[in-house]
Amino acid sequence: MSAVATNLWTIPLFVIIPIITAILLNLLYNKSRTIKVIAIASSIVLFVLALISPYGFQWFTGQPGVTPGGTYTFDASIFSYRLSLEYYFGGLQQILITIMSLLLVFVVFLSASSLRKNIGPYIALIFLLFMSSAIIIMVNDFYHLWIGVEMGSLLLAGVVAASGESISQKAALKYTFFSALSGAGMAIALAMILGVTGYSNITNAIQYIMSDNLSSLSGVLYIAFGFFVLSWIYAGGLAPIHPLKSDVYGSAFPHATVMLQTQSKLMIVAMGLIILRLFGTLPFAREVMLSVSVLTMIMGVTMALIQTDLRWTLAYLVVAHSGLVTLGISLGTVQGITGGLFQAVNDIVYMSVLLICCEAVMYFGKGTSIKTVGGIAKRAPWLALAVVIGAFAASGVPPFNGFQSEIILIQASLSSGLPEVAAIVLMVSVTTFIALFKPIYNIFLKPDNSPIAMEGDAGAGIATMAMVQPTSPVPKSIYLFLAILIAIIIVLGVYPQLALGFVQDTAIKVVYFPWVP
């Protein structure tokens, strides 16, 4: 067996570069041009690093592993108890961090271009949001996972509260309050796991649980499982607390929601996989996770149906589609986990398309409600095309990426003997389509009947309409970002193997070798 590197050079950079960038941006505060240059350069570096990084471990602080014989090793392929804090970068981490860093480039560019006033601290928080998400998806340590989740919750609150509007501040405060409770719950869960095993390293804890007879401590494991699931629900905004997260998504700037929903997906994936690896063999564990997932999907799409504002429709759909991700993980089979992870990748991409389109609608100055804005397709036809493609992908229409992951989820549900779950996945797809096309029709396709538009129409002859009609105020950069994301949607829809190759390895490990990160 060849030695597996424990000092992979790229891993620390995913944490340190955002930290240093955030500190600089916070200090620069209102120097917009310098902030823009540093932030964009830094995000591009992170994207390139994610793209080219080899796979391996980073044992922070360079402490070795202790073998059962008492000797020390720096080889991750040799069984040892880790003295160091351990991160792992593999296929799953690569695809998720690459997509997240690509989105970071877009979000940084959009926020630096579209926001006024003192943007330093805001963009600093976005970088730290990236950092906390990267930590959560790479870490193989309970305690550090907890810190990543805690920091992520705090950052989320900051990004949402940054607009200073009462609705966003209220949503941020409410979420912070409840996430503090879930953080405490997670700390209790970790204390119990640490008490039972003596290891905060996840690999070592799982090995201990699998090798020792812990039947007398099963109560402790069940309580730890309960608190862990509770944190998972809060961190991911799953049912029954989904309104908290939807409030957060709906009240942040749409470009910020791109990062927030990405962070949520990474959290539910990372925590879901850990729950499965650690507690997957406990009776009822998967059933509990499955119930939460199904409830999240149903509640999310139902709430999305009754919204009259594109921002809020998307806020609830993000939650509903998180349920699709957790559903796959909860099935606990290789096919199910593969589908769940692939769904996470796809979901991040097509939701980002829809959210960026939503932000573009705001440039027309009338908000995003179906009651106030209309006729956008006439002024921005490419934007209309982008939103329709995003909606098709979210609804699982072929040949877009959402179709490929949803079909895997349906097949996995049927293979697990759960046709009713497969039917719910199908229902979520159809309902997503209906929920999205109501605002899309009203905002993009229906003529603008607002008093200002009517006045303009009455005053101009049909022959001169083309001349007086204002051009789209949407920056060209938004079209570029949308084009890139739509290209990803189509490529993954036509060649799903491109992404499946990254996530299948993780699914196999979770099912057959749960101690391997």
Q: Of the two residues 47 and 253, which places its CB atom closer to other proteins in the complex?
A: 253
Widest distance between CA atoms in the chain: 89
CB of 20 to other proteins, least distance (A): 6
Q: Of the two residues 163 and 411, which places its CB atom closer to other proteins in the complex?
A: 163
CB of 209 to other proteins, least distance (A): 10
Q: Of the two residues 120 and 340, which places its CB atom closer to other proteins in the complex?
A: 120
CB of 513 to other proteins, least distance (A): 21
CB of 293 to other proteins, least distance (A): 21
270, 136 Cβ separation under 8 angstroms: yes
Q: Of the two residues 152 and 340, which places its CB atom closer to other proteins in the complex?
A: 152
415: tokens are 């293979």
Per-residue 3-state assignment (H helix, E strand, C coil) for 21-51: HHHHHHHHCCCHHHHHHHHHHHHHHHHHHHH
CB of 358 to other proteins, least distance (A): 12
d(CA 267, CA 156): 12
Q: What are phi and psi of 31, to 5 degrees?
A: -85, 80
CB of 343 to other proteins, least distance (A): 29
CB of 454 to other proteins, least distance (A): 21
CB of 503 to other proteins, least distance (A): 26
Q: Of the two residues 40 and 217, which places its CB atom closer to other proteins in the complex?
A: 217
| Angle at CA of residue 16, ends 516 and 119, nearest 5° | 125
317, 300 Cβ separation under 8 angstroms: yes
Q: Of the two residues 367 and 456, which places its CB atom closer to other proteins in the complex?
A: 367
115, 39 Cβ separation under 8 angstroms: no
CB of 483 to other proteins, least distance (A): 22
For residue 499, the one-letter residue type is A
Q: Of the two residues 65 and 402, which places its CB atom closer to other proteins in the complex?
A: 65
d(CA 86, CA 88): 7
CB of 383 to other proteins, least distance (A): 15
Its sign, for the CA torsion 207, 86, 235, 237, is negative
Q: Of the two residues 83 and 407, which places its CB atom closer to other proteins in the complex?
A: 83
Cβ atoms within 10 Å of 69's Cβ, excluding its own = 7
d(CA 41, CA 21): 10
CB of 30 to other proteins, least distance (A): 8
Q: Of the two residues 145 and 503, which places its CB atom closer to other proteins in the complex?
A: 145
Per-residue 3-state assignment (H helix, E strand, C coil) for 292-352: HHHHHHHHHHHHHHCCCEHHHHHHHHHHHHHHHHHHHHHHCCHHHHHHHHHHHHHHHHHHH
- Rounded to 10°, the helix 334-362/476-494 angle is 160
Distance of CA 272 to CAs 40, 88, 489, Å?
32, 17, 25
Distance of CA 31 to CAs 34, 39, 45, 119, 284, Å?
6, 12, 21, 8, 55
Residue 11's SS3 state is helix
Residues near 48 by beta carbon (within 8 Å), at least 6 away in sequence: none
Q: Of the two residues 22 and 294, which places its CB atom closer to other proteins in the complex?
A: 22
47, 48, 50, 51 alpha-carbon torsion, rounded to 10°: 120
d(CA 82, CA 74): 10
Q: Of the two residues 95 and 380, which places its CB atom closer to other proteins in the complex?
A: 380
Residue 57's SS3 state is strand
